[in-house]
Amino acid sequence: MKIDPYVNVDAGTMNPVEHGEVFVLSDGLETDQDLGNYERFLNMDLPSVNYMTTGSIYLSVIAKERALEYKGKNVEVVPDIPNAVIEQIDRAVAKANADAVVVEVGGTLGEYQNILFLEAYRILKTRNPKSSVFVLVSYLPIQNGGELKSKPTQYAIRTANSAGIQPDFIIARAAVPIDRMRKEKIAFNCGIRPQDVISAPDVESIYEIPLNFEKDGLSDSLLEKLNLPKGSRDMKEWTTFVNKVKNAKKTVKVAIVGKYFSAGNFVLTDAYISVIEAVKQACAWQGFKPEFTWLDSSDFEGKGAGARLKELQKQDGVIVPGGFGTRAIEGKINVVQYCRENKIPYLGLCYGMQLMVVEYARHVAGLKGAHTTEVDEKTGHPVIDIMPEQKEILKGNNFGATMRLGNYPAKIKKGTVAYAAYKKESVVERHRHRYEVNPEYIEQIEKAGLVFSAASPDRRLMEMAELPKSKHPFFLGTQAHPELISRPLDPHPLFMAFIKASGAKNR
């Protein structure tokens, strides 16, 4: 479970530059990107009860109050908010088919805004002393290659103590592994056993992390403290995957063309974390190491765009991921055109598929000025248009949690690139969009050569578009977000096919 301290009810209305990717659960809840990491590591779908925010908790308490469920009592921040948090944790535990549930509170100890969640933790531990443990993740800085500094961790422990919480474990995040001497020092100062200081050094691949935890015996100690029987564990498959990541030799150059990268002087890739992980996974299974290039789509429009487009020749494959709004969209369309004309493998995700249709309509199907109504409401050829039910929703400014969200089925046409990738007709993918391929243009666009290789079972919504293999090594877009369900031990077929095409040099 993830607890996010912000007041937003979910992550759906947040700009990705502010908060990173919006991860969509199978049941449609728009959550923080951490849920994506949980699903990738656990190799399971998580239900929406596993996510809460300050906003969602207050909303539920207020709704209960309005429904007279507190029976005329004073409703107070304490204990009613922590109690609502605990009730949701209980519901998630009841729903989980698991022996233990990890509940992460986001943010940092000492922050004003997560104090009520810590209060919930304190109450939980008092209620279930034998079946709850606290794990503090703490950063240990090393200054200029000198001594490891444990003072911030000691201070964090004091802060936890003042909230009534004594951590059972410290996950010691640091650039390097923590040696025995430092573990003893931290343990002595923080009131825990040295073996409960778990070293969490920087790693080449995040998928190594569970293996590192095992080296320090974390699961044995956890089982002991949770009074659970010593289980057997099988890390074979996971280890095999990690070795594939580490031993991959051939490189494949993948460009991601987005617009949510820059934040001041930093280039942040958090907005595309699932896309990046899906590429890494598909690469590992095929012996490739990905070499990523982050390209800002605004660089591909206006002055100097032509020269920059030519630079795309250096790439083995290009991805245009999901996005919203009008900014830097012509740049993305120019990238799509360049990849199509120069036979550079291209994967379009959601907006990346819609813009592929726009580009094809404009430059091949002869629909001059074709566009998505998201950008140009008055276009003469609205080849991508808002779904009728979405029009109604937006009349009332109901932006939160109202897109076409979560799992929807699609039927794939046999003999297509999509079918060759999935090797089956019926698939289910996660979605997050308001716009769709306008049914009125399908025939015209298909006549011009673009194939709509998958659609909703009622064929109302186009789910995938592609060029046949005879025309292009890989030019495929999907209305869904396949990146959200790609897992280390179960890489996504579309990413596998895209990497295969990208890795095939001399195309």
Tokens of 133: 């443990």
Residue 183 within binding range of ligand GLN, rule CB under 6 A: no
- Residues from 130 through 169 that contact ligand GLN (CB under 6 A): none
Q: Could you count the other beta carbons within 10 Å of the beta carbon of residue 323? A: 24
Closer of 381 and 430 to ligand GLN (Cβ): 430
The set of long-range contacts for 418-421, using a CB threshold of 8 Å and a minimum separation of 24, is 418/453, 418/454, 418/464, 418/466, 418/476, 418/478, 418/494, 419/453, 420/469, 420/497, 421/493, 421/494, 421/496, 421/497
Interface pick for ligand GLN out of 125, 244, 433, 472 (rule CB under 6 A): 433
Q: Could you count the other beta carbons within 10 Å of the beta carbon of residue 286? A: 17
User: Which position has the token pair 């935890």?
Assistant: 213
> Which of the stretches 67-75, 89-97, 236-244, 428-436 binds ligand GLN when contact is defined by CB under 6 A?
428-436
Q: How many CA atoms lie within 13 A of 143 on its CB side?
A: 5
Tokens of 270: 């958090």
Q: What letter would DSSP give residue 142?
A: B
Interface pick for ligand GLN out of 435, 441, 474, 495 (rule CB under 6 A): 435
> Which of the stretches 105-113, 131-139, 333-341, 427-435 binds ligand GLN when contact is defined by CB under 6 A?
427-435
CB of 351 to ligand GLN, least distance (A): 3
Closer of 350 and 455 to ligand GLN (Cβ): 350
State how far Cα 319 lies from the chain centre. 16
CB of 462 to ligand GLN, least distance (A): 12
Closer of 39 and 374 to ligand GLN (Cβ): 374
Tokens of 234: 């099988």
Interface pick for ligand GLN out of 39, 374, 466, 483 (rule CB under 6 A): 374
Q: What element of type H or E holds 475? A: strand 475-478
Residue 259 within binding range of ligand GLN, rule CB under 6 A: no
Q: Could you count the other beta carbons within 10 Å of the beta carbon of residue 209? A: 15
Query: Does the active-site annotation cover 283?
Result: no
Its sign, for the CA torsion 89, 94, 97, 98, is: positive
Q: How far is CA 369 from each of CA 136, 327, 337, 378, 450, rounded to the nearest angstrom?
A: 56, 17, 14, 10, 18
Query: Does the active-site annotation cover 350?
Result: yes
> Which of the stretches 128-136, 235-243, 320-328, 455-463 binds ligand GLN when contact is defined by CB under 6 A?
320-328
Closer of 167 and 331 to ligand GLN (Cβ): 331
Q: Are strands 169-174 and 135-139 parallel, antiparallel or unpaired?
A: parallel
Residue 359 within binding range of ligand GLN, rule CB under 6 A: no
Interface pick for ligand GLN out of 178, 252, 350, 465 (rule CB under 6 A): 350
Interface pick for ligand GLN out of 51, 260, 288, 324 (rule CB under 6 A): 324
CB of 103 to ligand GLN, least distance (A): 29
Interface pick for ligand GLN out of 259, 432, 472, 500 (rule CB under 6 A): 432
Closer of 381 and 433 to ligand GLN (Cβ): 433
Size of the site for ligand GLN (CB under 6 A): 10
Residue 258 within binding range of ligand GLN, rule CB under 6 A: no
CB of 1 to ligand GLN, least distance (A): 25
Dist. CA 264–CA 286, nearest whole Å: 36
Closer of 102 and 394 to ligand GLN (Cβ): 394
Interface pick for ligand GLN out of 125, 259, 434, 500 (rule CB under 6 A): 434
Q: 264: phi > 0 → left, psi -120 to 50 → alpha, else beta; which?
A: left
Residue 20 within binding range of ligand GLN, rule CB under 6 A: no
- List the one residue out of 502, 492, 53, 501 whose CA is nearest residue 274: 492
DSSP string, 42-104: HTS---GGGEEEHHHHHHHHHHHHHTTTTTTPPP-HHHHHHHHHHHHHHHHHHH--SS----E
Closer of 314 and 460 to ligand GLN (Cβ): 460
CB of 16 to ligand GLN, least distance (A): 10
**Exactly one of 21, 350, 463, 466 is catalytic; which is it?**
350
Query: Does the active-site annotation cover 224?
Result: no
Residue 323 within binding range of ligand GLN, rule CB under 6 A: yes
Contacts of 368 (CB under 8 A, 6+ apart): 362, 380, 381
Q: Give the CB-nearest residue to ligand GLN.
A: 322
- Determine the 3-state secondary structure of 172 from DSSP: strand
SS (H, E, C) 251-319: EEEEEEEECCCEECCEECCHHHHHHHHHHHHHHHHCCEEEEEEEEEHHHHCCCCHHHHHHHHHHCCEEE
- List the one residue out of 135, 175, 176 whose CA is nearest residue 156: 135
> Which of the stretches 73-81, 84-92, 319-327, 465-473 binds ligand GLN when contact is defined by CB under 6 A?
319-327
Residue 95 backbone dihedrals phi, psi, to 5 degrees: -80, -30
Letters for 271-310 (x = contact with ligand GLN by CB under 6 A, - = none) are: ----------------------------------------
> Which of the stretches 217-225, 310-318, 340-348, 432-440 binds ligand GLN when contact is defined by CB under 6 A?
432-440
Q: Which residues belong to the active site?
A: 350, 481, 483
Residues forming contacts to ligand GLN in the complex (CB under 6 A) are 322-324, 350-351, 374, 432-435
